[in-house]
Amino acid sequence: MELEKLAERIWEIASDPKVKSEGIQQIALGIQTLVQEINEGKVPRDWAKGVSEALGAFEELADATPLPPQKISGLDRFVASFIQESQKRMAGLSLSINGVFDSDNQEAVRLSAEHLHAIRGGAAMLELRDIARLAGALEKCIVSYGKAKDLASPTRPILRAFAVLKSTIENPDEAVDALVDDVIEELELAIKQLKTRHDEFRRDQTSTDTRVLEQRILVVDDVSTIASSIGFILTELDIPVDVANSGSEALEKLRKGAYSLVISDVSMPDMDGYELVKAMKADEMLEDVPIILLTQLDSEEDRARGLAAGADDFLIKGSIGGGELVARVSDLLVDAPYVPTRAESRRSVLIVEDTETIAASIAFVLSEGPYDIEIAHNGRDALRKIALRDFDLIISDIEMPAMTGLELLKTLKESPRTKDIPFVVLTSRSSGANAQEAIRLGATRFLVKGEVGAEKLLGLVNEVLEV
């Protein structure tokens, strides 16, 4: 039989030590098995002709010019790995998402959010925009429903989003933007409805005069520059922010004064973030205060440890810009407790500085006092903010784009509404001409940045505002 001879020939080639081809060996074994099946009557003999024709076609293919090997880029490898991991996450999500609609749903909500958080983070890093947007919106909707307790569940948008996300992960190149946008719009509408109904429920449950209540955040980090940067990011929420430089100091502040939310670093001496979470959850007075843990590294093990300790969220420090931290804090503040307004009379201070790190450092120094701080990036930005509200003090740099500090000072002193606001110039330019011009225009003080320490600056502000 021709096949038997062909099998013998292929096996000779496969046995050649120079060849070393597993594929040829498998072909030889396959043909030998086929011959045996034909002889035993298991396979019709006319199949042999088809096999011979197929091998002939293979011979023609072998004579053709070989195609160059496909090169797989490093990004493609990461994407392929992400898709594989995301499919595992979706399998876990398919189990937990049904439990979201049960009355006792908190564990299902936590697991579902954990899966979606991981998918969203990986997709955002690899710029898989549709997957990141879908996973983020679905996570937010599920978490919102988890907080809504007994309110009607958004079953349709959640299950529809799950199906579209699954399909998009399996075929990311075939995602339809219009469909993704439609699903996200439906999820956002569901989130808005949940929040509206939840706010109505909360108002019905309390008769407390909200004028004596506020929400207040405690930031915990042993590196003062990082703490001040976090405080700067949160200024757009217009919520008072206090700072503690260690876990033990945070506990002391929490026990002396009430807070709505805590944002804590993980790695700190004395008491780390995990220990702080455990201490808060073990205290009847603090166990309901939500806490976000921040870390330098994206470790699944660290995240699991933080959530197991009782943290409400876990973020990488590198991702807190771009609105991520503000979005997470805003979500948690929906259900966070209101606390009594502090008894001291608070003063409003506007910092006008075009260098964000310097503005954040000044804000951090003043956060030790009874000051609500707002930041403007140049003189023109400051005028817009001053038009919207009154300030008790303005601290301004001189050299800034759009409008300089001296131009801002001149404009404010010419207006009856703003001419009496104390104006402190804080600049790196120590020229006598600048100082004389500032005092001539009506500046309260002229300070040089390198010559004024934190304690002196806070003392001077206290003196000017008679605090």
pLDDT at 341 over 80: no
pLDDT tens digits for range 390-437: 899 999 999 998 899 999 999 999 988 899 999 999 988 777 888 899
Residue 360 confidence class, pLDDT cut points 50, 70, 90:
confident
Same domain, 54 and 108: no
Residue 209 confidence class, pLDDT cut points 50, 70, 90:
very low
**Of 28 and 343, more confident:** 28
Same domain, 254 and 180: no
Nearest 5°: phi and psi at 353?
-155, 130
pLDDT (0 to 100) of residue 201: 55
* Count: domains in the chain: 4
pLDDT (0 to 100) of residue 5: 65
Rama region for 466: left / alpha / beta (φ>0; ψ in -120 to 50; rest): left
Instruction: Establish if 70 belongs to a structural domain.
Output: no
pLDDT (0 to 100) of residue 368: 75
Residue linked to tokens 């349709």? 156
pLDDT tens digits for range 26-72: 666 666 666 677 777 766 666 566 556 555 555 554 444 444 554 44
Instruction: Establish if 67 belongs to a structural domain.
Output: no
Same domain, 201 and 98: yes
Residue 4 confidence class, pLDDT cut points 50, 70, 90:
low
Same domain, 296 and 362: no
Same domain, 94 and 180: yes
pLDDT at 347 over 60: yes
Residue 210 confidence class, pLDDT cut points 50, 70, 90:
very low
Same domain, 85 and 148: yes
Mean pLDDT, the chain, integer: 79
| Averaged pLDDT for residues 11-38 | 63
Residue 41 structural domain:
2-61
What percent of the chain clears pLDDT 90, i.e. is strictly above it?
A: 18
| Averaged pLDDT for residues 118-145 | 83
Indicate which CATH number applies to the domain containing 92.
1.20.120.160
Look at residues 315, 340, 365 and tell me which one is the last residue of a structural domain: 340
Same domain, 194 and 96: yes
pLDDT (0 to 100) of residue 277: 92
Same domain, 242 and 311: yes
The long-range contacts involving 293-297, CB below 8 angstroms and separated by at least 24 positions, are: 293/264, 293/265, 293/266, 294/221, 294/230, 294/263, 294/264, 294/265, 294/266, 294/320, 295/265, 295/266, 295/267, 296/267
Contact indicator for 251, 225 with CB cutoff of 8 Å: no
Same domain, 331 and 251: yes
- Specify the range with the lowest mean pLDDT, choosing from 78-87, 173-182, 414-423: 173-182
Instruction: Establish if 397 belongs to a structural domain.
Output: yes
pLDDT (0 to 100) of residue 10: 62
- At residue 310's C-alpha, the angle toward residues 232 and 250, to 5°, is 45
pLDDT (0 to 100) of residue 263: 95
- Specify the range with the lowest mean pLDDT, choosing from 99-113, 127-141, 220-234, 442-456: 99-113
Classify 1 as helix, strand or coil. Answer: coil
Same domain, 178 and 259: no
pLDDT (0 to 100) of residue 8: 65
pLDDT tens digits for range 226-281: 887 888 888 888 888 888 889 999 998 888 888 999 999 998 888 999 999 999 98
Instruction: Establish if 14 belongs to a structural domain.
Output: yes
Instruction: Establish if 374 belongs to a structural domain.
Output: yes
Instruction: Establish if 229 belongs to a structural domain.
Output: yes
Look at residues 13, 36, 61 and tell me which one is the last residue of a structural domain: 61
Residues present in the chain in total: 467
Instruction: Say whether pTM exceeds 0.85.
Output: no
Token pair for residue 193?
């409805």
Instruction: Establish if 287 belongs to a structural domain.
Output: yes
Indicate which CATH number applies to the domain containing 259.
3.40.50.2300
Instruction: Establish if 68 belongs to a structural domain.
Output: no
**Of 382 and 255, more confident:** 382
Look at residues 318, 340, 362 and tell me which one is the last residue of a structural domain: 340
Same domain, 449 and 358: yes
Nearest 5°: phi and psi at 192?
-60, -45
Same domain, 85 and 133: yes
